Structure 1
Amino acid sequence: MSDTAVLINTAVAVVAIVVLIVRFKLNPIIALVVGSCYLGLAAGLGVEETLTTVTTGFGNILGEIGLLIAFGVLMGALLSDMGAIRRLVEGLLRTVGPQRLPHAMGLTLATFLQSIFLDVLLVISAPLARAVAPRLGRYGTARMATALAIGLECGIVFTVPGVGALALAGLLDVPLSTYLVYGLIVVIPTVAIATTIMTFLFNRGWWKPELDELEPVTAAVAADTADTAGAAGAVAGSGGRSAAAGGSTDAGAGGSATIATGGGDAAGARPEPAPPATEPPLILLFAPLIAALLLVATGAVTEAVEWHNPVVALLSTPAVALLIGLVGTCLLGRRYMGQPKVEESLESGVRQSGQILLLSGVGGSLAATIEAVGLGEILGGYLSAGSWAPLLVVWAIAAVLHIAVGSVTISAITAAGLLAPVASSLGIDPVLIALAAGAGSLFLVHLTSNTFWLLQSLLGQTTRGTLKTCSVGVSVASVVALGPILLLSLFL
C-alpha cells in the first residue's frame, strides 16, 4: 500500500475514534479497539494479522505497566481512607501559610500524591481549598481553583505513578525510573511558573468575583465548607471513581453531565471511613509511598553511573518497589483502620483500576497497529532527525486530540501511540516524545471534562470563572511545559 493511503487511513481511524467518543458517546475502550481494527484491515494487514496485532499490543503494554497501575491505585485508595490527603493539606496550610498555599498545594498534588485517584484528590482537597480561600483576599477562590487544576492535571501526565505517565512511558518504551526523574524536572517548574502567571493575571483585575463566583465566600460559607471536607470522599466510591476514563476525572464528553448536576455527591458512593481514634504521624502514612519512589529513582541513578548490584537492581525495579510500598501501606492500614476496612479499601481500588487498565491496554493496541502498518517509517521521512521541531508536532497532535476528545489521558495515549513508531528514526530520546505528548494533552481542558465541572461546583465558580481557572490555567501550564522539555532536548 502506498504511503499516502497509509496516512489517509490512519487519519480516518483517528477521526473515527474521536467521532465515536464525542458524537456517539461510545466508550473510549471500544472506540480505540474499533479504530485499531479498521486501520489494520484498511491498510492491508488482513483479518488474522490485524487481530494478532491488536491483542499482542494490548498484552504487551499491560505486561509493562499493568501491575504498576494496580499497585498505585490500591495504595491511593488506602491512603485516602486513612485520611492522609486531608491531613496533608491541613499541614501545608499550617506550614507555609495561606498566601503561599496555592503554590504549595499545586506542587504537592502534582508531585507527591499521584498514586491517589484524581477524583479522590479533587473532592477531598477542594473543600479545604475553598475554606481557606477568603484568607487569600479578593482573588482567593481564583488562586486556589487554579492551583488545584494545574497541579492535578500536570501530575497525571508528568509524575510517576500518575496513570498518564505510566501509559506514556510504557507505550514509548521509556524506563519508568527515567520518566520519574525527567518528569519531575518538567513538572516542578511548570506548576510553579504557570501558577505564578495566573496569579499575576488575577491580581491585574482579570478575575471578577461578582461574575466569576457563584457567591462570595464569606467566613460562614468557608466554615460550612470546611465541615464538609471530611465527608467529601463520597465521590471516592463507585460513582466518582468510575467516572474517569483512564484514571482521571477528564472522562470526555459523555461524563460531564453527571458531575455538572451532582457536584461531589456521586450516586452510589460510599462514605469515607471515620478517622481512627489515634491518628499516626503523617510522615508515617506516606513513608511506604516515599520509599517506593526513592527505590525507583535509585534505579535511574545506578543506571546513569553504570553501577550494578543485583539486590539494588531487584528492589529498584518499579513493580517490586511499588509492591513494597503497597505492602507497607497495607500494614499501616491494618494497624490504624483494622483489617476489614483495609479489605474494603482494596476492593474499591480494584474496581476503579479496571477501566484504567483496559484503556491503557487498548492504547497499546492502537500503537501496535500503527507500527505494523509502517506509519513510523513514513513519518520519519518527513520529520528531521535531531530537531526540536518534532517535539512541537507531538505537542500539537496531543493538543488537537484533547480539544476534540476532552480527555487528558486518552489524548496523551493516542498521541504517543501515533508517534511511538517514529521515535527510533528521529534521533530524539523517547522520554522527550512522551513528555511532549503529555504537555500537549493538557491544552484547553474545557466543558467536556469532568474535572472542569467538579472544580466549578466544589469551588463555587461560575462557568465563566472555571474557564479562566481551569481551561486557561491548565493551557498556560501546557505551553509552559514546553520550555523545560525543549531545554532537556539540548542535553539528551
Structure 2
Amino acid sequence: MTPSFLQVLICLILGIVLIIILTARYRVHAFFALLLACFVVGVGVQMPVPDILKHSKDGFGNIMRSLGFVIVLGTTLGGLLEYTGCTRVMADFILRKTGEKRAPLAMSLTGFIVGLPIFCDSGYIVLSGLNQSIAKKTGIAMSIMAVSLATGLYAVHCLLPPHPGAAAAAGTIGVEFGKLISIGVLVAIPAMLVGYWWALYAGKKWPGESNGQADHVHKAEEPMASRPSVIAAFLPVVVPILLIALHSFFVMEQSSDSGWHAIINVIGVPEVALSIGVLLAFAAGRNWKRDTVGRLLSESAEKAGGILVIIGGGGAFGAVLAATGLGKHLGSMESLASLGLFFPFLLTAVLKTAQGSSTVAIITTASIVLPLLPALGLDSENGKLITVLSMGAGSMVISHANDAYFWVIAKFSGLDMRTMLRVYTLASLWMGLITILIVYILSLFLLH
C-alpha cells in the first residue's frame, strides 16, 4: 500500500521532532537519534522492517564510501597542524601584518584560515591562549577578541568541506568538492566580516566581565618546542585547497593525454590532496618520535570515527526518507517551487536552532531536500551548489546554549552567559542572514 502524502509528512515531522528531543534534551548521541528516526518514519509509513534495514544500510554505506577518507584525513590534518605549532605561526604572522590596533581583525582572519582544515571548536581551543594574551596586551575587550576569532572559524566550518556538515551535504546532494570550496570561500568571506563587525560593535556596547575562569588549553601531548617557518606552516592548508580547486576547474577527461591534466586529475582528488596536506604537516615538524606519531594518528582516527557515525546515520535517514516517496508527493506541489533556495535555508535554520548541532542540522536537511530538488527548481549542477550553500547559511542560525561550540567559546574566554548571547549568538544570526542574501544574489547569476 502506497502511503498518502499526509501520512508521510506526519511521519517525517515525528522523525525530526524525535531527533531534536533526543539530541537536545536527553543528550542522546546523534547517530542513535537518526537511527531511531529511520524506524519511526519507516514503520509509520508501513514499510517492512527488512526494507527499513536495507535502505538504512545502503544509505550508511553510500555516504561512507564518498566521505569516509575525507573526514579522517581532514581530522588528521587538523591535529597535526595543532601539534606542530603551524596554527600559532599562522596567527602570529597575520597579527604582525595587521598590527595590534587591528588585533580583532587579525584573529578573525586567523580563525578563517586555520578553520579551513580544523573544526571550529578545536581551532578555538588551540588559539584561545594566544587570543587571551593579545587581549591583555592590547587592552581590547575579551568579548570582541573572542567573538572575532569564533566567527572567523564558524564561517568556514558551516560552508566548506572537509568540515563534516558541508562535506556530507555535498556528498548527498551531489556537488563537486572543488567547486563548493572555490565558491564557498567567497561566500564565507562576507559571513566572517559580518561576524567581525558585529563583534566590534556589540563588544564595545557589552564588553562583559570575564569570570576569571577561562580554561587553558590542555593537550594529551605537549606541542613541539621548535616552531615551523611561516611558509611551512601555511603550506599544509593552502596546497590541498589549491589542488582541489584546480581539479574542479580543469577539464578532466580520462582519455586525455595531457601530462598536467593527468597529474591534476590524481593529486586534485580531495582524498589525495588532503593526504599531501598531511605529509606537509609532518614535514613542518621536527624530531618526530614513533610513539608520538602513533598517538596523534590514533587520536585523529578516534575523533573522525565519532563524526563518521553521525554522517552515516544521516545517510541512513535520507535513504529511508527517499524510499517513502516523499519527493514525488512534494514534487507535485507548485507552492514548494516558490520557496526555492529559501526552503533548505529555513529548514536547516530551524533544526540548528532547535537541537544545536550545525552538522546534524545540515545532514538531516540534505536528506530531506534531495528528492525535492526538481520541485524547488534546484536540480541543475549549479542549483545543487546553491542548495548546499543555502543549507550552510541555515546551519549558522542560531548558535546558543544548546550548541557545544557556544560553551567552548564561553569556557575558554571566561565570558558570562548574557554577554555570549548578546555578542556571539546575535553574530551567528547576522552571519546566517547575510550569507543567504549572498547566496541568493549568486543564484541570480548561476541559475538564469
- Shared fold, TM over 0.5: yes
> In 1, are the aligned partners of 2:160 and 2:185 still within 8 Å (CA)?
yes
Q: Is the 8 A contact 2:89 2:233 kept in 1?
A: no
- Counterpart CA distance in 1 for 2:223 and 2:21 is 44
1:328 and 1:201, CA in 2 relative to 1: closer, same or farther beyond 3 A? closer
Distance 1:102 1:307 in 2: 50
| Corresponding residue of 2:273 | 321
1:291 to 220, 230, 239: 239
Matches of residues 52-451 of structure 1 in structure 2 within 5 Å?
Answer: 52-134=54-136, 137=139, 140-203=141-204, 206-207=205-206, 209=207, 212-214=208-210, 232-234=217-219, 270=220, 272-276=221-225, 278-303=226-251, 309-333=261-285, 335-382=286-333, 389-428=339-378, 429-451=383-405
User: Which deviations, in whole Å up to 9, do the C-alpha atoms of 1:193-233 show, x marking residues without a partner?
Assistant: 33224423444xx31x4xx2135x9xxx9xxx8xx9xx614
Secondary structure of 2:155's counterpart equals: helix
Structure 1 counterpart of 2:294, one-letter code? E
Q: Distance in 1 between matches of 2:384 and 2:109?
A: 25
Determine the structure 2 residue equivalent to 1:265: none
Q: Aligned partners of 1:100, 1:349: CA distance in 2, in Å?
A: 34
CA distance in 2, matches of 1:423, 1:473: 30
Q: 2:428 aligns with which of 474, 482, 487?
A: 474
CA distance in 1, matches of 2:190, 2:181: 15
Q: Is the 8 A contact 1:145 1:469 kept in 2?
A: no
Deviations 1:296-340 (A, max 9, x none): 00012114999963332122111121122223333444x443333
Residues 111, 282 of structure 1: CA spacing in aligned structure 2 closer, same or farther, 3 A cutoff?
closer
User: What is the aligned counterpart of 2:49 among 47, 50, 56?
Assistant: 47
**Shift in CA distance, 112/83, structure 1 to aligned 2, threshold 3 Å:** closer
> Partners of 2:72 and 2:85 in 1: how far apart?
20
Cα distance in 1 for residues equivalent to 2:255 and 2:394: 35
Q: Distance in 1 between matches of 2:283 and 2:202?
A: 46
Shift of 1:168: 1.5
- Tell me what 1:491 maps to: 445
The residue type paired with residue 346 of structure 1 is L
Q: Please tell me the residue identity of whatever aligns with 2:398.
A: L
Q: Following the alignment from structure 1 to structure 2, what is the Cα–Cα distance between the partners of residues 418 and 142?
A: 37
User: Does structure 2 conserve the Cα–Cα contact (< 8 Å) formed by 1:280 and 1:336?
Assistant: no
Deviation string, structure 1 residues 241-264 (Cα, Å, up to 9, x no partner)? xxxxxxxxxxxxxxxxxxxxxxxx
Q: Match of 2:31?
A: 29
Identical aligned pairs, as a percentage? 28
CA contact (8 A) 2:108 2:149 kept: yes
Q: Is residue 394–residue 419 contact of structure 1 (8 Å, CA) maintained in 2?
A: yes
Report how far residue 124 of structure 1 moved.
Answer: 2.0
Q: How far did 1:451 drift?
A: 1.7
Unaligned runs of 5+ in 2: none
Task: Check the 8 A contact 1:111/1:184 in 2, yes or no.
Answer: no
**C-alpha RMSD over aligned residues:** 2.5
TM, length-normalised to structure 2:
0.90
**Structure 1 residue 405, shift from structure 2 partner:** 0.7
Count of aligned pairs between the two proteins: 436
- Counterpart CA distance in 1 for 2:274 and 2:268 is 9
TM-score w.r.t. length of structure 1: 0.83
1:17-46 residue CA offsets vs partner (Å, 9 max, x unmatched): 112222333211101001012212222331
Contact 2:146 2:413 (C-alpha < 8 Å) held by counterparts: yes
SS at match of 1:491: helix
